[in-house]
Amino acid sequence: MRRGFRWFGYIIVAVMGGLFALSGFSLSGSIEGLVGFAGLLAVGVLFVLAGFETPLTRRFGWHRILGLGFAMMGVVNLLTVLFSWADGGLLYAVATLSLAGLFAFMGFDIARDGPHFDIDPDETV
């Protein structure tokens, strides 16, 4: 499972890099775009980091870094709905807030090695 999250992180970083290249290497369009780009790039980096055995993962545990990535994904979703509250309508806001809550719960439960997600904190690469 740990390797799978590493590859998921690679995909997120590649998609963010592709979108950055398609935008003409410019993030000056809006603060919402910058926050979303930087947040999802950080999520991808955290997922990749959780997939490797590093001093950071040995010290804190890979599952805590993975949980931080999921919690950060929830924060990015929350900021997305706050920035575009008037644009998307109520259904979009409710769906995005629900997704943000789900990601935050997943991150918290994975980081504390809770009972809801079967993550083995002692799993090796």
| pLDDT (mean) for 117-124 | 78
- For residues 120 and 56, give the distance between their C-alpha atoms in angstroms, rounded to a whole number: 17
pLDDT of residue 101: 92
What is the pLDDT, as a whole number, of residue 59? 93
The angle, 0 to 180 degrees and rounded to 10, between the axes of the packed helices 85-111 and 62-83 is 170
Q: Is the pLDDT of residue 111 over 70?
A: yes
Mean pLDDT of the region 13-24? 85
Q: Assign residue 24 a region: left if phi > 0, alpha if psi is -120 to 50, beta otherwise?
A: left
- The pTM of this model reads 0.84
Residues 43-89 have pLDDT tens digits of 999 999 999 998 999 999 999 999 999 999 999 888 877 777 666 67
Per-residue confidence (pLDDT) for residue 29, from 0 to 100: 67
Q: Are 9 and 46 in contact (CB under 8 A)?
A: yes
